[in-house]
Amino acid sequence: MIRTDMPMRSWVTDANDPDCEFPIQNLPFGVFSTAATPPRCGVAIGRMIVDLAACEERGLLDAKGSFARPQLNDFIALGRPAWDRIRARLTALLAEGASTDLPLIAMSDATMHLPIRVTEFTDFYASKNHAFNVGALFRGPENALPEQWTHMPIGYNGRASSVVVSGTDIRRPMGQIRGEDGPVWSPSRRLDLELELGAIVGADSAMGQRISVEQAEGMIFGYVLLNDWSARDIQAWEYQPLGPFQAKALGTTISPWIVTQAALEPFRCKGAERVNPLLPYLHEERPGFYDLRIGWSMNGQRMCSTNYNVMYYSSAQQLAHHAVSGCPMRVGDLLGSGTISGPARDQTGALLEMTEGGKTPVTVNGDPRTFIEDGDVVSLHAHAQGNGYRVGFGECTGRILPAQE
């Protein structure tokens, strides 16, 4: 859907290119370093980075000194009034006609770092298409969706320690897989990606405190692309009765730029049609999804294109459900949406679905493939399309290294 809002322009001229992912309408936050500066906070504009720590030093911004830190957690913890104030100030400083005396760093001269200290990582399972496709492979189409799936967001607690920034290599895991006469010790032979959107929690909640969906909406700072790498053969052997464990612990890659909720607000839309009414604590007053074009590529070949609006549960619903037992949430918690898949084969966010469990190979640069091989590079991409501009996420890329046997 093309929006009709008129594009605002910046004096950073390449930010006005209609194909630029970082126009003035976006202003995503990240953490970068250069040969001359340690890791610090920045904002992307065109092919440049605004050095927010240097802006604070010059008195152009006030974020309580948080921009000199090597993660965004301290700034995020200042709360939504500070988020809105800093965004408005940066928009004014970067708008066409404003002074051009800002500390800018070329992206080509910067190294990007993990933008937050990930306090906890929870991954959900919120695409009905993905849940049905995977369930049908493991249990048959008649038992594909568990009874509770259309009543509540399903998730598991992952490993915050293995969340890494785009560009970090991922090593193929060793593990137990099913053999003819019991478990076999082996490198994973069915390594996969998962195309996801990650939500960054921007406020704490107390232990014992429940959160409404409306409150949860106000607690989300922004979003990243997220690839929850998955060893499907290890997963198939271990997942009953308690769900994924080592199959999901090998690594989770996120994009370095956090696109704020404010930047995505013009693209808010409805998600998938409900099968049945949800319990009142999961009711949304307004749609919690975004018209966000999203997909992935392997070794430079586009493999999938779909939309975030196919999802069944929003990030706010997932956050509200996460806290329904009184589980405390913290600034820097990362919530994975679950694999984003549309109804068609070329809209699936994982090779497990695309190849029907490895039975139907796909062609990648002329070669038949079922799962990820050593040396493969997988990249996620996403943007929301406005009128004459787009709000993008940048790269979310990882390369697979051989297992250490």
Task: Render 187-229 in DSSP notation, one character per residue.
Answer: E-SSEE--EEEEEEE-S---TT----HHHHHHHEEEEEEEEE-
Examine the domain organization and report whether 194 and 307 are in the same domain: yes
Examine the domain organization and report whether 134 and 35 are in the same domain: no
Instruction: Look at residue 2 and tell me if it is in a domain.
Output: no
Examine the domain organization and report whether 87 and 147 are in the same domain: no
Residue 4 pLDDT more than 50?
no
Examine the domain organization and report whether 319 and 259 are in the same domain: yes
Give the pLDDT confidence of 310-341 residue by residue, as tens digits: 999 999 999 999 999 999 999 999 999 999 99
Q: How far apart are CA 229 and CA 254, in angstroms?
A: 11
Residue 363 pLDDT more than 90?
yes
Residue-level pLDDT at 1: 39
* Assigned token pair, 26: 């976006």
Instruction: Look at residue 179 and tell me if it is in a domain.
Output: yes
Q: Could you tell me which residues come within 8 angstroms of residue 167 by beta carbon, excluding any fewer than 6 positions away? A: 112, 395, 397, 398
The verdict on whether omega for the bond into residue 23 sits within 30 degrees of 0, i.e. cis, is: no
Examine the domain organization and report whether 262 and 151 are in the same domain: yes
In this structure, what CATH number is given to the domain that contains residue 31? Answer: 2.30.30.230
Within 62-166, strands assigned E span: 104-106, 111-113, 121-124, 155-157, 163-165
Examine the domain organization and report whether 100 and 151 are in the same domain: no
Residue-level pLDDT at 141: 86
Examine the domain organization and report whether 390 and 301 are in the same domain: yes
Residue-level pLDDT at 3: 43
Instruction: Look at residue 100 and tell me if it is in a domain.
Output: yes
Of 48, 82, 113, the one marking the end of a domain is 113
Indicate if 383 belongs to the active site.
no
Give the pLDDT confidence of 27-57 residue by residue, as tens digits: 999 999 999 999 999 999 999 999 999 999 9
Examine the domain organization and report whether 257 and 359 are in the same domain: yes
Of 62, 87, 113, the one marking the end of a domain is 113
| Percent of the chain scoring above 70 in pLDDT | 99
Instruction: Look at residue 394 and tell me if it is in a domain.
Output: yes
Instruction: Look at residue 1 and tell me if it is in a domain.
Output: no
Looking at per-residue confidence, does 130 or 240 come out higher?
130
Q: Domain range for residue 83?
A: 13-113
Examine the domain organization and report whether 156 and 76 are in the same domain: no
Examine the domain organization and report whether 385 and 356 are in the same domain: yes
Instruction: Tell me the pLDDT band of 215, cut-offs 50, 70 and 90.
Output: very high
| Options 130, 321, 322, 383, the catalytic residue | 130
Number of domains in the chain: 2
Instruction: Look at residue 73 and tell me if it is in a domain.
Output: yes
Report the amino acid identity of residue 70: P
Of 96, 113, 130, the one marking the end of a domain is 113
Instruction: Look at residue 193 and tell me if it is in a domain.
Output: yes
Q: What is the mean pLDDT of residues 203-226?
A: 98
Task: For the chain, give the mean pLDDT.
Answer: 96
Report the amino acid identity of residue 338: G
Residue-level pLDDT at 135: 87
Closest CA to 318 of 194, 206, 223, 235: 223
Instruction: Tell me the pLDDT band of 169, cut-offs 50, 70 and 90.
Output: very high
Give the pLDDT confidence of 173-190 residue by residue, as tens digits: 999 999 999 999 999 999
Give the pLDDT confidence of 337-362 residue by residue, as tens digits: 999 999 999 999 999 999 999 999 99
Q: What is the mean pLDDT of residues 279-290?
A: 96
Examine the domain organization and report whether 72 and 158 are in the same domain: no
* Full-model pTM: 0.96
Examine the domain organization and report whether 135 and 281 are in the same domain: yes
Give φ, ψ of 197 to 5 degrees. Answer: -115, 135
Instruction: Look at residue 3 and tell me if it is in a domain.
Output: no
Give the pLDDT confidence of 240-258 residue by residue, as tens digits: 888 889 999 999 999 999 9
Q: Scanning the structure block, which residue is given the tokens 């001269």?
A: 109
Cα dihedral across residues 306, 336, 250, 44: positive or negative: positive
Contact between 176 and 183 (Cβ < 8 Å)? yes
Q: Which residues sit opposite 179 in a β-bridge?
A: 182
Residue-level pLDDT at 2: 40
Q: How far apart are CA 393 and CA 68, in angstroms?
A: 23
Residue 126 pLDDT more than 70?
yes
In this structure, what CATH number is given to the domain that contains residue 318? Answer: 3.90.850.10
Instruction: Tell me the pLDDT band of 6, cut-offs 50, 70 and 90.
Output: low
